[in-house]
Homo-oligomer: A and B are copies of this chain.
């Protein structure tokens, strides 16, 4: 379940149900969509997952929610830019795979950070490449060496949303485009960037919803963990 589909009823008097079977079915535990949830509801899920040794994560958590939750959840950390609250189950575990999160301008940073936190929670190694939008076309090539061996790249861009096409043209791995609502006027709250990415002339570009940093990171993380393991070996075994 996408954190955008809250499962846990947060309205007063309603009980909380955690989908503890999630890791078996989907490979990763359930994520909490924090927007509109009560502090009690979020804390309950974190505690139940903690008891089972699962890492917990909630997206779109406001600073006010975080301020109330952090004292209740020992070991939890909050990234205000990404609006993500997390608690690691095995903090020191090694990273697998490699994903780059590439963003066009500094206003795209919150969505890029949401992707980065998601990947970190999945245990995937992440490289961040900021501020390489197409209007400064010399910037991206200078930094390609940092991520040309990535298993997947998340590209976050608003306004004209052209960056995924350019990144896709340089690399062979899958590129997950995340359009953002950064812009004004004929941007129409991200529609311009969304259409650009859907019409990308690069064959390796796919797209998620506007401002969907979590989903962009999640899909890239799935690709990277599978690439890291080598499923062919697993399937034959």
Q: Which of A3-11, A61-69, A84-92 lines the interface with chain B?
A: A3-11
Whether A133 contacts B97 by the Cβ 8 Å rule is no
Whether A185 contacts B190 by the Cβ 8 Å rule is yes
Give bound CA distance, A198 to B198, whole Å: 11
Whether A206 contacts B208 by the Cβ 8 Å rule is yes
Q: Name the interface size band of chain A.
A: 35 or more
For residue A49, CB closer than 8 A to chain B, the reply is no
Residue interface bits A69-103, CB-to-B below 8 A is 1, else 0: 00000000000010000000000000011100000
Whether B11 contacts A81 by the Cβ 8 Å rule is yes
For residue A116, CB closer than 8 A to chain B, the reply is no
For residue A53, CB closer than 8 A to chain B, the reply is no
Whether B196 contacts A135 by the Cβ 8 Å rule is no
Q: Point out the residues of chain B lying under 8 angstroms from A181, CB to CB.
A: 185
Cβ distance A59 to chain B, nearest Cβ, rounded Å: 11
Contact of A5 among B28, B166, B201, B233 (CB under 8 A): B201
If A135-B165, A200-B159 touch, whether A231 touches B222 (CB-CB below 8 Å) is no
Whether B198 contacts A185 by the Cβ 8 Å rule is yes
